[in-house]
Structure 1
Amino acid sequence: MQKRATILLALLSLSWTFELSSAQKRWTAFRNMFRRIKYGVPTGGNPGKPLFLTPYIESGRTEEGRQLSMVGPLPGANVKSYSGYLTVNKTYNSNLFFWFFPALVQPEKAPVLLWLQGGPGGTSMFGLFVEHGPYVVLKNLTCKYLLLLKVSERKFSWTSKYSMLYIDNPVGTGFSFTDDEKGYAENQDDVGRDLYSALIQFFQLFPDYQNNDFYATGESYAGKYVPAIGYYIHTHNPSAKLKINFKGVAIGDGLCDPELMLGGYAPFLYQIGLVDEKQKDYVQNQTDLGVMYIQQQKWREAFELFDQLINGDQTGHPSYVQNVTGCSNYFNFLQCQKPTDQDYFGELLALTEVRKSIHVGNLTFHDGSIVEKHLLQDVMKSIKPWLAILMDNYRVLLYSGQLDIIVAAPLTERFLPTVPWAKVDEYKDAKRAVWKINAEDLEVAGYVRQAGDFYQVIVRGGGHILPYDQPERSLDMIESRYGPKGAQHLTKMRDAMVDHLSGENEWPYKSAASLGACQGGGGGGGGGGGGGGGKPGHEGREGCPSLRYHHPLAGVTAVRLTVMAAAVENYLMLAAPLASPAIHLISVVWIQWYIESFRGLVVLLWQEQKPEFQHSNFGELLTLILDIQ
């Protein structure tokens, strides 16, 4: 009897995930970024009450509201964060749920990144727990009856460099809700309006972050959400009292222009071997019909065709592509089924103690179906005009996973040349650069094209859920050379220099002393700087090769070159992102002249101090210009 009671008590403490009916099990890349999970009722106990922060903001009690919004402990780890609800429409009682993580390093200076999941109706909690938030959910079977969930800290979390703001968007997604049918977004204007209201309130609640650089980011159907909020800030914030320091956007595998993107499916699926010739022709005929529907503004018909062909959302059975390939996962064509650990976060959010810690109480976690219903007429519309305005005025990053199917990289390649922005011709002529995380890496991380402040990146080895597949490459893309920060300067330097630099790459001296002996004055002066520089008369000295570089300053010491390296490093890291085009061009020419003039010394320094330079921007620049290994 006691054993039976113990088992019953254990069963009551579980976080159950119930099997749903076959109709409920359907999931889609655009709506649900995870399989349907029943969240319903918390797992017993007291989940607390939802925290609505708008009243605190409006009454000037922001400090009190901020303290109340601090997230309580989670099982396994505890990173400082804040969460709660922001009311974006009082008439309909529409509320957006947010979860904010200050950067782990220098949060007072770190940019703030807004993350929006796709869908329509995909929760941003997926991005938090599965992709790049500070937490990853672990599920351990410790005994026959008890299943334990806990969180662990993610190694390549974006919060290591950025303050991350996750919002369940639009209203009706995840923990966000409304009390009226009229509160749901019908188009991207509605999406932008509600998000903007939430952002203004967020920066009122957290004024210390108001002056930090702000970027809107997201993936998949957020290829519309992100331009929507970016455009709304662009058009409404200049005249607002509270300014958002908006700097740009980043979109991953984004559905931005269905009309042009649809036509890329047939050749892509054929080229990766998922359909044969006959199946390719069928897909092409169907997508051509879908394009015709779009051109005729038959939005519902276009969506239904797309759904039956590829998406498999509303049909009640697998899509055509799912049937002929036998695979349900179109996030990564190397994985036929979706990884099961991408669902763990749903079970975590059903735990009473977790709901209490994040201030959602017993409110329903929505699967997003009603959001899709209200945005159905919007799915197949293009966002290109708004994207063009953002590309003309801000820093824009569009990235694609090489292994994605549902918004494959070639689909993005099809529509980008048609975006009507000022530098479209420069983009068409731009060279694609190879990207490595470290210069000495044998493995290539991806490829980048750049025009102005626009960057297009292809990440190798990753699919639709890119940070899950390639966490290190995703973080490197966002924070360093090939993200919104530094790609422009290294790629421009390489393009400007590498094609026309020439001369001897090898410098056979084994030490600075031997270098000085050959370069010193006619009286046999030793040091690297002696004698006012190397002269032709030294070429016959024993052990001294023929010198091809006889610059007046060729006697510069390795110490001075080290100082130069530090100056270049500081320029690349600090000044270059802020420099005007003219100043940057002058700097590039000067650095080119310097390295060209002292090629021998540069190679010597590389040979003797490689560990010190190989991970620096200066070291990477040397490998690009001089082919030093």
Structure 2
Amino acid sequence: MMSTMKHLFVVFLCVLGFFSTVTSINNSFRGTGNGSEAWGYIEVRPRAHMFWWLYWSPNRVDDPSKPWPTILWLQGGPGGSGVGFGNFGEIGPLDVNLKPRNSTWLQKADILFVDSPVGTGFSYVEDDNLFVKTDVEAATDLTTLLKTIYNISPSRQKSPLYIFAESYGGKFAVTVGLSVLQAVEKGELKLQLGGVALGDSWISPEDFVLSWGPLLKDVSRIDDVGLNNSNSLALKIQQQLADGEYEAATGSWSELEEVISDSSNDVDFYNFMLDEGNDPSTSKTKAWGRLGKQRYAKADDAADLDSVMNGPIRQKLKIIPANVTWGGQGGSVFSAMEGDFMRPRIAEVDELLLKGVNVTVYNGQIDLICATKGTEAWINKLKWDGLSAYLNLDRTPLYCGKDDTVTKGFVRSYKNFVFYWILGAGHFVPVDQPCVSLQMVGSIVNTPNA
């Protein structure tokens, strides 16, 4: 029986074009019989196991002149599960009720979800000393995973990889992008990097905390007392960052969040138009979303994501160790990275631009935690030689489909840098504005017409 199962799995992998043989890598892999999905563990360091899940787009077009793209999705936190929340909560083929999602990004690309860093989601470490402490360490682990996947798959090597990120995942994305380029230059990784896309990303913590008070005062969410208290703490954080006191700054950031909550009567950090927990579409879909803190994500009649991932999804995957619980080590991931949490990654964005990598930034209009005001502030700090020309260009309005009566956003681009302003969206842009988000993704990854 085991021999037959192994034979069928080899056939599946050959059809998928993902691996040449099962025995090429000493790791655990599974997949669906029709070749539409594959998943598994890769031991990126001894006793440090990273989980991945690849979906093959049903719209895939095989065109040698315009290769079909792959999206690598990186969740925030740190400690947020892309395999769980990004997949079932935002852009995967099924929602948390395991029903088809009409707005899945699989319409535009193959999608590779990874639970990174190790300890996130279904990923796990066998020793607490193996949690990563920096974005760069996380990037090294993820590059190891990509080497394992891409170096033995000629078909995958032809598919340009676009790294999409959300929230803290943006810091991972820029460090992974540079790590990938370095590995490619050294001949250690066979991969085409199509670009990096940063969605509501925590690139410059200083600029975001400085934006919170003024933004909330402008929209009448806090008063002058709240503004003064917020600004005082934000300036303290700014000084701690200037002094390199990153762990102390993380503590002050947490204190500032409490001040903001108290001054605003619990504003929702993901949508400043709402109160925390009062979103009418809120349900039991918990995720490590609020930069390390648990929160509830949108879904009208959603099942509890923890129950879904540790129930039917775990049963489907069949390779999750008995002692591993989805999200069980997520809090430890955040704690291990407290010393790097507030470190900016603007210089890494500059380096990607200098190397000619396509960089896209997109931001939800009503997000607070990674507010557009803060995003624009760190963009203005770029040393990129195209910045002045970019800032002087007009924006182009965006609409949903053929309806040109309602503005859904704006876009501005110059050379290899693009910025999208998505109206009516909070922190989770694909959830709040699925139509214009899908159009944006197709433009970024240059999807061939199906």
Instruction: Settle same-fold status: TM greater than 0.5.
Output: yes
Whole-Å separation in 2 of the counterparts to 1:191 and 1:382: 15
SS of structure 1 residue aligned to 2:438? helix
What amino acid is the match of 1:478? V
Identical columns (%): 25
Would you say 1:374 and 2:336 are equivalent positions?
A: yes
Q: TM-score of the superposition, structure 2-length normalised?
A: 0.84
C-alpha contact 2:48 2:126 (8 A) present in aligned 1? yes
Cα distance 1:210–1:62, how it changes in 2: closer, same or farther (>3 A)?
farther
SS of structure 1 residue aligned to 2:68? coil
C-alpha contact 1:260 1:414 (8 A) present in aligned 2? yes
Cα distance 1:58–1:154, how it changes in 2: closer, same or farther (>3 A)?
closer
Q: After superposition, what is the alpha-carbon deviation per residue over 1:94-115, rounded to whole angstroms, capped at 9, x for unaligned? A: 1110111011112654201100
Of 80, 83, 88, the residue aligned with 2:39 is: 83
C-alpha contact 1:275 1:324 (8 A) present in aligned 2? yes
Mapping 1:305-344, distance limit 5 Å: 305-310=252-257, 319-327=258-266, 329-336=268-275, 337=277, 339-343=282-286, 344=304
Whole-Å separation in 1 of the counterparts to 2:20 and 2:398: 50
What amino acid is the match of 2:264? T
Residue 450 (structure 1) aligns with: 413
SS of structure 2 residue aligned to 1:400? strand
Mapping 1:94-243, distance limit 5 Å: 94-106=48-60, 108=62, 109-124=67-82, 125-138=84-97, 151-204=98-151, 206-243=153-190
What amino acid is the match of 2:123? S
Whole-Å separation in 2 of the counterparts to 1:278 and 1:244: 53
Cα distance 1:67–1:328, how it changes in 2: closer, same or farther (>3 A)?
same
Q: After superposition, what is the alpha-carbon deviation per residue over 1:329-363, rounded to whole angstroms, capped at 9, x for unaligned? A: 31112332251153432211121x43132131422
C-alpha contact 2:229 2:259 (8 A) present in aligned 1? no
Whole-Å separation in 2 of the counterparts to 1:430 and 1:85: 46
C-alpha contact 1:107 1:163 (8 A) present in aligned 2? no
Would you say 1:364 and 2:325 are equivalent positions?
A: yes
SS of structure 2 residue aligned to 1:173? coil
Whole-Å separation in 1 of the counterparts to 2:233 and 2:445: 37
Q: Which segments of 5 or more consecutive residues in structure 2 lack a partner in the other structure?
A: 1-8, 10-17, 287-303
Mapping 1:225-624, distance limit 5 Å: 225-310=172-257, 319-327=258-266, 329-336=268-275, 337=277, 339-343=282-286, 344-351=304-311, 353-358=312-317, 359-362=319-322, 363-365=324-326, 366-392=328-354, 393-438=356-401, 440-480=403-443, 483=444, 485=446
SS of structure 2 residue aligned to 1:349? helix
Whole-Å separation in 2 of the counterparts to 1:207 and 1:273: 56
Whole-Å separation in 2 of the counterparts to 1:295 and 1:450: 31
C-alpha contact 2:108 2:441 (8 A) present in aligned 1? no
Q: CA RMSD in A?
A: 2.5
Cα distance 1:417–1:154, how it changes in 2: closer, same or farther (>3 A)?
same
C-alpha contact 2:183 2:189 (8 A) present in aligned 1? no
Which moved further from structure 2: 205-214 or 283-292? 205-214
Whole-Å separation in 1 of the counterparts to 2:41 and 2:268: 33
Whole-Å separation in 1 of the counterparts to 2:161 and 2:24: 22
C-alpha contact 1:173 1:368 (8 A) present in aligned 2? yes
Whole-Å separation in 1 of the counterparts to 2:76 and 2:307: 20
Residue 549 (structure 1) aligns with: none
C-alpha contact 1:131 1:467 (8 A) present in aligned 2? yes
> How many Å apart are 1:233 and its aligned residue?
1.0
What amino acid is the match of 1:326? N
Cα distance 1:59–1:165, how it changes in 2: closer, same or farther (>3 A)?
closer
> How many Å apart are 1:323 and its aligned residue?
2.2
What amino acid is the match of 2:350? A
Larger RCO, structure (CA 8 Å, separation 6 or more): 2
What amino acid is the match of 2:69? P
What amino acid is the match of 2:77? G
> How many Å apart are 1:204 and its aligned residue?
4.1
Whole-Å separation in 2 of the counterparts to 1:179 and 1:63: 24
What amino acid is the match of 2:91? H
Would you say 1:70 and 2:70 are equivalent positions?
A: no
What amino acid is the match of 1:246? L
Cα distance 1:58–1:427, how it changes in 2: closer, same or farther (>3 A)?
closer
Whole-Å separation in 1 of the counterparts to 2:189 and 2:382: 31
What amino acid is the match of 1:98? W
Whole-Å separation in 2 of the counterparts to 1:103 and 1:440: 27
Q: After superposition, what is the alpha-carbon deviation per residue over 1:526-579, rounded to whole angstroms, capped at 9, x for unaligned? A: xxxxxxxxxxxxxxxxxxxxxxxxxxxxxxxxxxxxxxxxxxxxxxx89xxxxx
> How many Å apart are 1:197 and its aligned residue?
0.3
> How many Å apart are 1:307 and its aligned residue?
0.6
Whole-Å separation in 2 of the counterparts to 1:370 and 1:260: 26
Whole-Å separation in 2 of the counterparts to 1:250 and 1:415: 16
Cα distance 1:65–1:111, how it changes in 2: closer, same or farther (>3 A)?
farther
Whole-Å separation in 1 of the counterparts to 2:269 and 2:19: 45
> How many Å apart are 1:419 and its aligned residue?
1.2
C-alpha contact 2:29 2:41 (8 A) present in aligned 1? no
Equivalences, count: 403
Cα distance 1:97–1:64, how it changes in 2: closer, same or farther (>3 A)?
closer
Q: After superposition, what is the alpha-carbon deviation per residue over 1:287-312, rounded to whole angstroms, capped at 9, x for unaligned? A: 011101110111122111111111xx
Whole-Å separation in 1 of the counterparts to 2:374 and 2:401: 29
Whole-Å separation in 2 of the counterparts to 1:132 and 1:242: 27
> How many Å apart are 1:468 and its aligned residue?
1.0
Computing the radius of gyration from Cα coordinates, the structure with the larger value is 1
